[in-house]
Each structure stands twice: as structure tokens, then as C-alpha cells.
Structure 1
Amino acid sequence: MTTNYIIVDDEHIAHDIVKGYCDAMPNLNLVKHCYDAIEAMECLRNHKVDLIFLDLNMPKLQGFSFLKTLVNPPKVIVTSAYQEFALEGYELNVVDYLLKPFSFERFVTAINKLEHMDKPKTNSTVKLEEERLFLRSNKKHVQVRLNDILYIESIGNYINMILADKEIQVREKISEIKKMLPNNKFMQVHKSFIVAKNHINSIEGNRIFIKDYVVPIGKTYKQNVNALLG
């Protein structure tokens, strides 16, 4: 499904960076470049917009002040050079807060959060088999079907993602990957391991068996596993 977005920022170079990143991702469609909040308001009145990339320090009307004027705002990813406003951003339910200058990898993390946020469904529901993540591995971005993930292991600043047919290594923290995964399908069982519940074959003592793999259960996560067992 295509996500229609606008960029609201008074700096032309910021527009070029965000658009360049968006062009490298599938299903992101630019509606308009807006250079202040007034221009953005006019755009929202006349176009269907699903996502705003929003700068905070702008003329006429500041970013969060603009956001507070919207009755039913689209999803918002903040792009700002000011870290001190991050808490207020999350209180306003922004998808993510990107601190300038941000890398393409950090941008992809924000888009993944957007893609996997819980959204109300009317006539259909998203099946697990159809849910995907784009992850950077070996200098390229690979698409991973969530249903193919057996478990995830943290190794320093990397994670090793064990899939049904292969393994991939991704430069990401396990805490960030966990935010992208639906809680009803995945469970952290150790500070270094997340498992896919539907791929668990058996649980014995402090070990989880998934196909030919054995995953340890950490003491502080034992209650998560016990809750699964009922």
C-alpha cells in the first residue's frame, strides 16, 4: 500500500535528504514540498496525506504548535536538530524522532516503525505472512517476511536473525528490533534472544527448542515463558 507523504521544513537541503531517502524505499509517494506550516495546512486540506516529515524550528508557526492545530493529523516523523523536544514529541504520539543529521539506516528504522504500528482495520486484517521488514545487511537492504523469522540473537551491536531458510546479520540493537515486532507473535526470552512463538517446538527447563536450534531462557524472562504456557 502506498504511503503519501509531505516534507515540512524551511531548509531546502533537508528536503533533498528526506526525499532521497524516501526514493530508496518502496511505496512512499511525495505529495508536496512544504516550507512552512501554513503551506502544509493548505496541502492537508486539498490532498490525502498519510505521513508528515516535520521539522520543528520553522518561521510563522513552530512544528509542534502546527501539529497541535490538526484535529486528525496524519502519522508524523519528526526531523529536528533539537534533541530537547523529543519527550514532547512522543507525548504527541509521533512515530519517531529523527535527530539531524540522521543516517539512512536510522531513517529505515523509523519507516519500519511506521509500517508495523497497530492500525484499525475495517473489512480486513493484515496477515502475519504479509508483514515484512526492510533490514540493512551486508551493505544492502533485504526484505524479511515476519513469518520466516525463527528467532533473533543479539551479538554486540549486531543481531543475527535466524530465518526458516537462511541467516542474516543486521547492524541493529535487539531493543530496536523488538519495537518493530508484534508482541502477540514474538517474545523476548533472554536479554540476547527473541523467539517467534509460532515456531516453538517445545520448552524444557530453561531451554526452548525451535527446529534444530536451542535458545536459552533468562531468569528475568522466565515469567514471560510461563505466561505462554498458561
Structure 2
Amino acid sequence: MIRYLIIDDEHIAHDIIKGYCDLLPNMQLMENCYDALEAFEYLNKNQVDLIFLDLNMPILKGFAFLKTLKNPPKVIVTTAYQEFALEGYEHNISDYLLKPFGFERFLKAINKAFDTSVSQKVVISESSIHSNRIFVQSNKKHIQLEVESILYIEAIGNYTKILTTNENITIREKFSAFLEQLPKNEFVQVHKSFAVAVKRINSIEGNVILIGSHKIPIGKIYKLNILQLLK
């Protein structure tokens, strides 16, 4: 059993991390801490195997908190700030997750943290993998999506539009970063600004992909991706 602690000042972050951990068979939440001082007090009396650590917290920042620990457990940083990644590895963290992150990326971080311990490495069931849930942030809300509901995604500057079977969602995240969170065998980039769900494709006519009533252009340098689909 992997005993873990969540340290983050946002309640929604606790819900997301716990939701992902609940999909795994050997993860046990020990405590929810909303600032570093709470966590410091808990760790003075208890031990855990893993900490999910936010960086931008009140009173004591994440890395400053790590410096106070004599024998820290494994640490996975969960933050919206990419610029601190290099400093994170100087603190010997296991992985650095940029918010928002999907379940597949989260699972990789867990397995990376415990890849030297065969007895504790996470084993995930087939049903959990296919649940394919992902959290996205739009208009200060965190929305949980089923990956299977996504028809295609579109780049709009520094934003990404996600078209699903039920709604359109625009998130403040670069297209390439969001595409990295999606299962590679289920989505294919067909244009510099578009990626589509393979199983949602109705037909391909010339340089256009039809998904229901939607027409998605095929870029010249992405035609090879389409040819591989047609094989």
C-alpha cells in the first residue's frame, strides 16, 4: 500500500488527485493538508510514502517546505508553473506535473516514483485505464470530461477548443500541451491546429475529414498520419 499526502491550498486539486488515486488499487490517502505548516505538523508525527506537493502556497512555498524535511518521502510536484521544473529536480523530486494533467500522465508519475520498488509499483486494472477521465479548467471551473466524448480539438492561439458530443469547451492551455494528455492511439493530429478522435471519423474526402456535420481540414505535412490510418 502506498500511503500518500496531498498538500495544496485549492480544494479542487485535492478532489482531482484523490479521484485519480481512487482508480488505483493500492493508494491510501492519509491526510489532506491545505498549507505547508499543516503538512509539517502531520509529518512530525506520521510517515507517508508519497507527497503530492503544490508550489504556490501561502506562508511557506512548496520547495521551501521540502528544505525543512530531514528525510522526505517521494514527492510529485503538482503545479501550474512550468518555470520551476529545473529547481524541482534539484530537490530530487520524482516527477513534475503541470496542471491540468490527465489520468494517463498522472499514472506515469506514480509508476516513475516507485519504479525501483517492484513490491510497491502501481498495478492498474484494465477497467481503470478505459475510464479515461480528464479534468480541464475553463472560466475558473474544473470540468471532468470523458475522453471518449471528445470529437476533436482545435488550437486558438494560446487556447484550445474542445468539441465533445455534448458541448464546446475552451481552455487556456496550448494545443500541443493538451494533445499530450490524450491517448496517442485514440487521437491523431491532422493539421497544425486540429487533432481528431480516430473512432469519431465518419469519412475522409480529399483534404477534409468529416465528423458528423463538422469539417476538419487536413494539413499537407499531416497527410502521412491519415495514410497510416487508412492502411
TM-score normalised by structure 2 residue count? 0.64
Q: 2:182 matched to 1:188?
A: no
Counterpart position of 1:179: 180
Q: 2:128 matched to 1:126?
A: yes
Describe how 1:1-40 pairs up with structure 2 within 5 A: 4-7=4-7, 18-22=8-12, 25-26=15-16, 28=18, 30=31
Deviations 1:82-104 (CA, angstroms, capped at 9, x unpaired): 74725847x9651326xxxxxxx
Report how many aligned residue pairs link the two structures: 200
For residue 211 of structure 1, report the CA deviation from its aligned partner. 1.4
Name which of 95, 102, 109 aligns with 2:100. 109
> Is the contact between residue 151 and residue 163 of structure 1 (CA under 8 Å) also seen in structure 2?
yes
Deviations 1:52-73 (CA, angstroms, capped at 9, x unpaired): 44733568x589x977xx6xx4
SS of corresponding position for 2:9: helix
Structure 2: tracts of 5 or more residues without a match: 19-28, 56-61, 112-121
For residue 115 of structure 1, report the CA deviation from its aligned partner. 3.8
> Is the contact between residue 150 and residue 163 of structure 2 (CA under 8 Å) also seen in structure 1?
yes
Q: Distance in 2 between matches of 1:26 and 1:76?
A: 14
The 3 A distance-change label for structure 1 pair 179 and 41 is: farther
Q: Distance in 2 between matches of 1:86 and 1:218?
A: 38
Counterpart position of 1:56: 63
For residue 132 of structure 1, report the CA deviation from its aligned partner. 1.5
- Give the residue type in structure 1 aligned to 2:208: R
- Give the residue type in structure 2 aligned to 1:183: K
Counterpart position of 1:100: none
TM-score normalised by structure 1 residue count? 0.64
Q: Distance in 2 between matches of 1:219 and 1:181?
A: 23
> Is the contact between residue 134 and residue 141 of structure 1 (CA under 8 Å) also seen in structure 2?
yes
SS of corresponding position for 2:216: strand
> Is the contact between residue 102 and residue 181 of structure 2 (CA under 8 Å) also seen in structure 1?
no
Q: Distance in 2 between matches of 1:6 and 1:87?
A: 17
For residue 186 of structure 1, report the CA deviation from its aligned partner. 1.1
Q: Distance in 2 between matches of 1:116 and 1:122?
A: 9
SS of corresponding position for 1:151: strand
For residue 141 of structure 1, report the CA deviation from its aligned partner. 2.3
Deviations 1:114-165 (CA, angstroms, capped at 9, x unpaired): 546486645534353x222222223422221110000011122222211112
Deviations 1:188-219 (CA, angstroms, capped at 9, x unpaired): 11111010111111222222111111111112
Q: Distance in 2 between matches of 1:189 and 1:228?
A: 11
Which structure exhibits the higher relative contact order, with contacts defined as CA atoms closer than 8 Å and separated by 6 or more residues?
2
The 3 A distance-change label for structure 1 pair 178 and 205 is: same
For residue 27 of structure 1, report the CA deviation from its aligned partner. 5.3
Structure 1: tracts of 5 or more residues without a match: 8-17, 98-107
Percentage of matched positions with identical amino acids = 29
Q: Distance in 1 between matches of 2:171 and 2:81?
A: 26
> Is the contact between residue 133 and residue 144 of structure 1 (CA under 8 Å) also seen in structure 2?
yes
Q: Distance in 1 between matches of 2:138 and 2:80?
A: 25
For residue 51 of structure 1, report the CA deviation from its aligned partner. 3.3
